[in-house]
Amino acid sequence: MSRIIHLSVLAAGLLAAAPVTQAYEAGDFMVRAGAAHVNPNDSSSDLTLEGVGSLPGARVGVDSNTQLGITATYMLTSNIGVGVLGATPFQHDIDGAGTLDGAGKLAETKHLPPTLTLQYFPLDSGSRIQPYAGIGVNYTHFFEEKTTATLTTAVDGVAQDVLGTAPGTINGTDLDLDASVGVALELGVDWMVSEHFGLNAALWYADISTDATITALADGAEAAKITTEVDIDPMVYMVGVMYKF
């Protein structure tokens, strides 16, 4: 009995002397990677033909896309961190909507959505499960905009109806999408499975709005411009793994 008591006291002493592993503390740096899915909650204003007016009901929509998402967090304290969201370029098809619904693919574009957030981790720093919330700013840069023959045909039809041009006058189109800056919100959770490795799930809402300009071309020369404001406002979902330095 005495030996058991002595062993119990020794074990308690060793546990008391063992350092407490801090899940998160000031100066920690976490990198996360996984599948990031952008699901737009899209809408657009009616297409407007410059110098003429809007084309009632003619709108566009944006489809979803999945890419490799990469995020990082630097802990300022055990409860406050600065987060950055990045990804490989997302690619979206732009389709007809409203009276253009069913027209098919009108264009495509790629974009990069770097996002900076201030994150709050509410639980004790020693918890293996760390939920967090963040608020910050998103900057979205669009590039490699490409139009389709479907769009060119549709614009040529509009030119015939509104401007009285001959069929086939519009034989090309260009698309330009302005960059967007808006508010970003995030929720996430890390689950540390060891001192350095863990699992992560997160979602973001980003306020993304862009002015789209379609240039109608007649044998390479500008013939008309069509504009619309497109609200993308996506939810971004990500699941992946993480490593804490």
Three-state secondary structure along 75-115?
A: ECCCCEEEEEEEECCEEEEEEEEECCCCCCEEEEEEEECCE
Predicted pLDDT of residue 22: 56
Instruction: Tell me the pLDDT band of 13, cut-offs 50, 70 and 90.
Output: very low
pLDDT at 4 > cutoff 80: no
Could you tell me which residue, 17 or 23, shows the higher pLDDT?
A: 23
**What is the per-residue DSSP string for the chain?**
-HHHHHHHHHHHHHHHHSPPPPSS-TT-EEEEEEEEEEE---EEPPPEETTTEE-TTEEEEE--EEEEEEEEEEESSSSEEEEEEEESPEEEEEEEEETTTTS-EEEEEEEE--EEEEEE--S-TT-SEEEEEEEEEEEEEEEEEEE-HHHHHHHHHHIIIII-PPTT---EEEEEE--EEEEEEEEEEEEESSSSEEEEEEEEEE--EEEEEEEEEETTEEEEEEEEEEE---EEEEEEEEEE-
Average pLDDT over the chain reads 89
Q: Which of 2.40.110.10, 2.40.160.20, 2.40.30.10, 2.40.30.30 is the CATH number of 2-244?
A: 2.40.160.20
pLDDT per position as a tens digit, 103-129: 889 999 999 999 999 999 999 878 899
pLDDT per position as a tens digit, 148-174: 999 999 899 889 888 889 999 999 999
Predicted pLDDT of residue 5: 47
